Structure 1
Amino acid sequence: MGKLALVGKITHVPSMYLSELPGERQGSRQDAIDGHIEIGRRCRELGVDTLVVFDTHWLVNANYHINCAPHFKGLYTSNELPHFISNMPFECPGNPALGKLLGQVCNEYGVETLAHDATTLDPEYGTLVPMRYMNADQHFKAISVSALCTVHYLNDSARLGWAMRKAVEEHYDGSVAFLASGSLSHRFAQNGLAPEFAFKIWSPFLETLDKEVVAMWQRGDWATFCEMLPEYAVKGHGEGMMHDTAMMLGALGWSEYEGRAEIITPYFGASGTGQLNAVFPVTPVSGKAIPAAQASAADGYRAFPRL
């Protein structure tokens, strides 16, 4: 059947777009852009037809949602940082059939999910920025999944990732990449200090915490990381409460995952936040759902404050 060919944790910092434009920031995020281009190149080599993005800029207050419109096209301005992303053109094909399949299987696994194919909803920049650099020629279809989840269990997000992998492998005729689009620590610089922290992390605590997490990923210490994820999401100011990361790890096998991260763009600071591009080898998983005993570390963490 289908194949989950590549899984990544990626940055979407709006300064990547600013880096294209004339001015003092031109070229300043080329390493992050090059990382996206490299991930796109690998997806092409692997025969990927659709990029499924877990987008921490798509805020939802009930259910999980999939934007699987047939086609995306328009001009995007960030409501958060309109001086960074303004009138950015975007266009790429969607994949309604896969989106509806993903939603169907998530519901079969008990994670209530709605797929939207007949919609005028445009993706957020957590999807649009990666598509700009990975998919400039519109080679790939794209699907966006809500991952700024305000009243959701991380446990359910992990199960959603698992169910989406099962949907691809058991029911889809094609190859897919899953991309968790979000930062590590996400504590923006205080108002008035943004220029000073343009290339820095907000605090030594957050930088140390992030770097230890990256080291865990590189040595494959997933049991420890999965157990600490709910607390890291809160104390580390994780973007979107790290629901994109839970989805990604659910697809990889949660704490049973045995792969190690390959860092494509090394850890860097952006407006106080911690960022990177990394890919994770897709390894075989058991045929059963994520065991409750392993996923239970995420239970009870619901309705996190938005930090």
Structure 2
Amino acid sequence: MGKIVAAAVVSHQPGIMLPSAMRLELYGGTDTSLIAGFEEMRRELDRAAPDTFIIFDTHWFTTINHILAGAAHYKGLYTSEELPEFLSDFPYDYPGAPELAATIAKAGAADGIRVLNYDKTNIPLHYPTINLVHYLRRNEKILSIGTCQAAQCHNFLDMGRAIAEGIAQTDCRVALLAAGGMSHSFEPMDTMLAHMAPDPGLVASAEAREMDIEVLKRWADGDHAGVIALYPKYRQLNPEGFFGHYLMMVGALGGPRCMAPGRRMSEYENAAGTGQVHVWFDVAA
């Protein structure tokens, strides 16, 4: 019987892929804490010993269905269409998790959830997946899942439940990695470069920053029911990917019944006006 052995909300902000000297120049001499956070997270992953990562990708937007990247292998050169100056011709080469993808799709369909397993390699990849694979993968298989832009809170939670059901029907040991930020409003183009440093005071608005901090407090307490209840208000502050990465992850952990406490593995930071953090959830609790 398969098992979820780890879960985390993980920042993928593109600056992490720059050389350290370029980051320091971009950030005005103060580097991001996210890099060290990846090292701490990898140590926890070593303890949990997953054989598969499910990555909820907040840049892969779907429209009608939840979609799984279910091919057996992915290999190529990645260039970001958004920020080629940050990430271009980057090599990737990793195994997929086709059996798990097919099982999740079947479990979702049985529950009346609109889910599609796309098992060809020609689907575009996105840097939330690429960046997490770069920093966190050792030998694990990778299953990326898109973010349906038409989904509401209950749709994301339902998809998470189907993911858990699918995992249980396999022998996989799975780490759920919700690849995305918190509040996600960018600074205007004219002022953005003056707001790149990690200082959380540079997050786009005081309201967004305060809501991010409220969510972080609830995560620390294991109050996922409270975070889900806050979702309508939080959605108005534009969390990345409609917060679908978190909602699918927590849906797989039991939705509002989940009480896994969260531990920060980075500082809460700014990136061009957006809120960024790594948070590890103790699924054993």
Taking structure 1 as the reference length, the TM-score comes to 0.85
Match of 1:185 in 2: 183
**Structure 1 equivalent of residue 244 of structure 2:** 243
Structure 1, 189-198 or 15-24: larger mean CA deviation: 15-24
CA distance in 1, matches of 2:20, 2:166: 37
> What code does the residue aligned with 1:211 have?
I
Q: Which residue does 1:303 correspond to in 2?
A: none
- Where does 1:221-236 land on structure 2 (aligned, <5 Å)? 221-233=223-235, 235-236=236-237
The code of the aligned residue for 1:157 comes to F
Distance 1:40 1:104 in 2: 31
CA contact (8 A) 1:257 1:283 kept: no
Kept after mapping to 2: 8 A contact 1:19/1:29: no
- Secondary structure of 1:178's counterpart equals strand
Name the SS of the counterpart of 2:87 in structure 1.
coil
Q: Structure 1 residues 272-281 or 198-207, which shifts more?
A: 198-207
Shift of 1:227: 1.1
* Partner residue of 1:78 out of 80, 86, 103: 80
- 1:141 aligned residue: 141
Asked if structure 2 preserves the Cα contact closer than 8 Å seen for 1:9 and 1:181, the reply is yes
SS at match of 2:190: coil
- Whether the 8 Å contact between 1:65 and 1:145 is mirrored in structure 2 is yes
- Return closer, same or farther for 1:45/1:224 CA change in 2, 3 Å cut-off: closer
Deviates more, 1:17-26 or 1:34-43: 17-26
Code of the residue aligned with 1:106 in structure 2: it is: G
Q: 2:174 aligns with which of 154, 172, 176?
A: 176
What SS is found at the alignment partner of 1:45?
helix
- How many Å separate the matches in 1 of 2:271 and 2:215? 18
Contact 1:16 1:29 (C-alpha < 8 Å) held by counterparts: no
Q: Which amino acid aligns with 2:156?
A: S
**How many Å apart are 1:58 and its aligned residue?**
0.2
Deviations, residues 242-292 of structure 1 (Å, cap 9, x unaligned): 1111101111212111221111112110111001001112258xxxxxxxx
Q: CA–CA distance in 2 between the matches of 1:119 and 1:90?
A: 13
- Provide the TM-score with structure 2 as the length reference: 0.92
Give CA deviations for 1:39-68 in whole Å, capped at 9, x if unaligned. Answer: 233223222111000101001111110002
Which 4+ residue blocks in structure 1 deviate beyond 6 angstroms? none
C-alpha distance in structure 1 between counterparts of 2:277 and 2:67, whole Å: 25
Deviations 1:212-251 (A, max 9, x none): 1101111222232111113312x22111111111101111
Q: CA deviation at 1:125?
A: 0.7
Contact 1:102 / 1:167 at 8 angstroms: preserved in 2?
yes
- What is the Cα deviation at residue 142 of structure 1? 0.5
**Structure 1 pair 82/173, CA: closer, same or farther in 2 (3 Å)?**
same
In the other structure, the counterpart of 1:304 is: none
SS in 2 for 1:189: coil
Identify unmatched segments of 5+ residues in structure 2.
Answer: none
- 1:260 equivalent in structure 2: 261
Structure 2 residue identity aligned to 1:258: M
Q: How far did 1:94 drift? A: 1.0
Secondary structure at 1:110 match in 2: coil
Unaligned runs of 5+ in 1: 285-307
> For 1:1-307, what aligned pairs fall within 5 Å after superposition?
1-20=1-20, 22=22, 24-25=25-26, 29=31, 31-135=33-137, 137=138, 139-147=139-147, 149-169=148-168, 171-199=169-197, 200-233=202-235, 235-283=236-284
User: For the residues of structure 2 that align with 1:60 and 1:197, how far apart are their CA atoms?
Assistant: 30
In structure 2, the residue corresponding to 1:34 is in which secondary structure? helix
Amino acid at match of 2:171: D
Percent of aligned positions that are identical: 30
Q: Is the Cα contact below 8 Å between 2:74 and 2:121 reproduced in 1? A: no
